[in-house]
Amino acid sequence: MFRSTRPISVTRRLIEQYFMFGLACLFFCVAVCVVLAWRGSLTSLVPAAVVLPLAILLVGGLVLRRSLGLVATIEEQLGRIAAVSSPVEHDLRPIAASDPLADGWNALLERFAGQASLGDLEARLSRALGGFHEQRFEQVFNTLSDGVAVTDAAGVIRFGNRSLAAVLRLPGGESVEGRDLYELLEREGSPDGCGERLRRQSGPAPMSIPCGPNLEDGVLRVSRAPLAGDGAEAGTLVWTVRDVTQQKLADEMRSQFVFTATHELRTPLANIRAYAETLSLEEGIDVEKQKEFCNIINAEATRLGRFVDELLNISQMEAGALTLARHETDVERLLSEVIEHVQPQMRQKGMDFEPLLPPKLPKLQIDKDKVAAALVNLLGNAVKYTPDGGRVRLQVEASLEHVSFHVEDSGYGIAPDELPHVFDQFFRSGDARVRQTTGSGLGLAFTREVARLHGGRVGVHSELNKGSKFTMTLPVR
C-alpha cells in the first residue's frame, strides 16, 4: 500500500528542503543588496552578496549530504527489507562508523541475525521432528499384533504394518504395499467373495471373513475408517485386520464345554436314578446285591460332587477368584491318591504306567485338593490322548528349592502352532483324534492357575505323533 506511490527518501527531502531554504535566503540577500545599490550605497558589495551566500549554501549542502550518508545507508537497507517478505541475512550490512545511530543499527542487525538463526534452527528442528514422528508412528504400528493398512480410493495399500502380511498369511517376506487389499482379502479363501462385497460397500463394514471351510482354517475380522485431516486424499481408508481364530475357537469351546458339563452331570445322575429306582421298585433283591447297588449310588454321588467341585473351581478361576487353602501335605500320599484316581482308566486302556519317585519327598505347604486336581488333569490328559497300550510316565524330582512333577506320554503329541495355546482357557486342539474325546478345554488352564497361585509354573514339550511331556514345578517353602 505504501509502495503504491513512488517513495522519496528522507535524506533527499532534507537536502531539497535545505537547498530551497538556502535559495530563499540567497534571494532575500540579493533583493536587499539590489535595493541598497539602487539607493546608491553598497554597489560594490552586490557581487559578494550573491557569491558568498551561494558558496556557503553549496558547502552546507555538501556537509549535510555527507552527514546524512549514514541515514541514507540505513534507509536504503530498510527499503530493501520492506521490498521482500522475508529478508535474508546478506541483505543487511552493518555500518562501519562510530556513531550512536550506526551502533544502534549494528546492534539491531545483530539481534535480527540471532532471530534469523533461531528461525532456521526451528525450521530444521521441525523437519527433524516431522521425520521422527513419522518413524515413531511406523514403529508403533509395527509393534501392533493387528494388521493395519492405509489404502487409497482404489483399495491399493499405501502403507501396511509388519503384522498385516502375517495376518493375511502371505508367504514370508512378501510386501503388501502397492497391492490391492480387496484382492488380498479375496485370496484368503473366503468362500463367498468377501473382498468384492467390501469393495462395493461403504462405511466401516466390520466383517468376519472365514479363511476356509473349517474354523481352524482361520477367521479374520476386518474394519475400516476414512482417514481425515490435512493432506489426506479423498477416499483414503485406514484398515484393521485382526486374526480372531483363537477367539472364535474359544467361543466354540465354551459352547462345547456346556455340552460336556451337561453330559458329565447327567451321567452319574442317570446311574443314581436307575439304581435307586430299582432298589425301591424291584422286590426280592438279595441283600448282597442291595449293598452293591447302594455302593454304586454312593460312588456316583461322590463322582457328581467331585464334578460340581471342579465346576466351582473353574468358575472361580474364570472369575479370577481361585484361592488356596494351604496345609502341610505329604507328597507321597498325595501322589498315591492321584495315581489311584487315574489307574482305572489306565487299566481300561491297557497302558504301561511307570511312576518314578525319589526315595524321600519333602512335605509341602500346598492346597492338597487343588494340586491333586491339577496332577489328575495332567495324568488324565496323558491317558486320554494316548492310544491303547501306550506308555505314561510320572517322574518326580525334588531339590531343596523345588519339587517338579513330569508327566510324559507316548500319545498323539501337540502340533507346534498349537503348543503356545494349550494352557489357554477353552483351547482344544484341532487334531481329529483329540476332538473325538470329550474335554472342557479348562483342565490345563486350571493346572497352570494352581501352579501360579503356589508360586510355581507349568511347561510343556511335545512332538506330534510322538508324545508330550508336561511339567509342574512347585516351590518348597
Partner 1 sequence: MPADGRAILIVEDNCVMADIMRFNFKRAGFDVTVAVNGRDGLERIRDRQFDLIIADYQMPRMNGEEFCRQVRQDERHAATPTFLCTAKGFELDTVQLSQELGITRILIKPFSPRELVEAARDVLAGPPDARERCSVRPDRSPSPAG
251 forms part of the interface with partner 1 (CB under 8 A):
no
Q: C-alpha cell of 459?
A: 511347561
274 forms part of the interface with partner 1 (CB under 8 A):
yes
CA distance 443 to 432: 19
Please answer whether residues 408 and 454 qualify as being in contact, where contact means their C-beta atoms are separated by less than 8 angstroms: no
Q: Which of residues 162-221 bind partner 1 (CB under 8 A)?
A: none
Q: Smallest gap, in angstroms, from Cβ of residue 389 to partner 1?
A: 14
Q: Under 8 Å CB-to-CB from 109, ≥6 apart: which residues? A: 92, 93, 94
Give the interface segment with partner 1, choosing from 97-105, 266-274, 307-315, 319-327 (CB under 8 A): 266-274
273 forms part of the interface with partner 1 (CB under 8 A):
yes
Q: How many chain residues are in contact with partner 1, going by CB under 8 A?
A: 23
Between helices 331-348 and 368-384, what is the axis angle to 10°?
30
Q: Could you say which of 80, 111, 133, 266 contacts partner 1 (CB under 8 A)?
A: 266
The DSSP line for 105-131 is: HHHHHHHHHHHHHHHHHHHHHHHHHHH
Strands 352-356 and 391-398: parallel
91 forms part of the interface with partner 1 (CB under 8 A):
no
Give the interface segment with partner 1, choosing from 233-241, 243-251, 260-268, 412-420 (CB under 8 A): 260-268
Q: Kindly provide the residue ranges of all beta strands, DSSP E only, lying in 125-261, ordered along the sequence.
A: 147-151, 157-160, 207-210, 219-226, 237-243
Q: Smallest gap, in angstroms, from Cβ of residue 284 to partner 1?
A: 9
Strands 237-243 and 457-463: unpaired
Q: C-alpha cell of 193?
A: 467373495
Nearer to partner 1, 281 or 321 (CB): 281
What sign results for the dihedral spanned by CA atoms 38, 39, 43, 49? negative
The DSSP line for 409-423 is: E-S----TTTGGGTT
Q: Could you say which of 438, 452, 465, 477 contacts partner 1 (CB under 8 A)?
A: 438
Dihedral of the alpha carbons of 281, 287, 291, 297, in degrees to the nearest 10: -10
CA distance 7 to 393: 105
Nearer to partner 1, 135 or 302 (CB): 302
Nearer to partner 1, 155 or 411 (CB): 411
Binding mask 391-430 for partner 1 (x = CB under 8 A): ----------------------------------------
Q: Smallest gap, in angstroms, from Cβ of residue 353 to partner 1?
A: 19
CA distance 363 to 366: 9
Q: Could you say which of 73, 271, 365, 404 contacts partner 1 (CB under 8 A)?
A: 271
298 forms part of the interface with partner 1 (CB under 8 A):
no
54 forms part of the interface with partner 1 (CB under 8 A):
no
259 forms part of the interface with partner 1 (CB under 8 A):
yes
Q: C-alpha cell of 163?
A: 503384522
CA distance 310 to 373: 8
269 forms part of the interface with partner 1 (CB under 8 A):
yes
435 forms part of the interface with partner 1 (CB under 8 A):
no
Q: Could you say which of 263, 433, 466, 477 contacts partner 1 (CB under 8 A)?
A: 263
228 forms part of the interface with partner 1 (CB under 8 A):
no
Nearer to partner 1, 75 or 252 (CB): 252
305 forms part of the interface with partner 1 (CB under 8 A):
no
Q: Which of residues 277-296 bind partner 1 (CB under 8 A)?
A: 277-278, 281-282, 289, 293, 296
Least Cα distance to 450 among 379, 382, 375 occurs for 375
Q: Could you say which of 78, 125, 128, 270 contacts partner 1 (CB under 8 A)?
A: 270
Q: Smallest gap, in angstroms, from Cβ of residue 272 to partner 1?
A: 8
Give the interface segment with partner 1, choosing from 146-154, 170-178, 273-281, 366-374 (CB under 8 A): 273-281
275 forms part of the interface with partner 1 (CB under 8 A):
yes
246 forms part of the interface with partner 1 (CB under 8 A):
no
- Residue 193 is classified by DSSP as -
Per DSSP, the three-state class of 458 is strand
Nearer to partner 1, 141 or 385 (CB): 385
Rg of the Cα trace of the chain? 49
Residue 27, number of CB atoms within 10 A of its CB: 12
CA distance 49 to 30: 6
Please answer whether residues 149 and 157 qualify as being in contact, where contact means their C-beta atoms are separated by less than 8 angstroms: yes
Helices (H), strands (E): how many in the chain? 13, 12
Nearer to partner 1, 136 or 263 (CB): 263
Nearer to partner 1, 145 or 437 (CB): 437
Q: Smallest gap, in angstroms, from Cβ of residue 255 to partner 1?
A: 9
CA distance 270 to 273: 5
Interface with partner 1 (CB under 8 A): 259, 262-263, 266-267, 269-275, 277-278, 281-282, 289, 293, 296, 300, 436-438
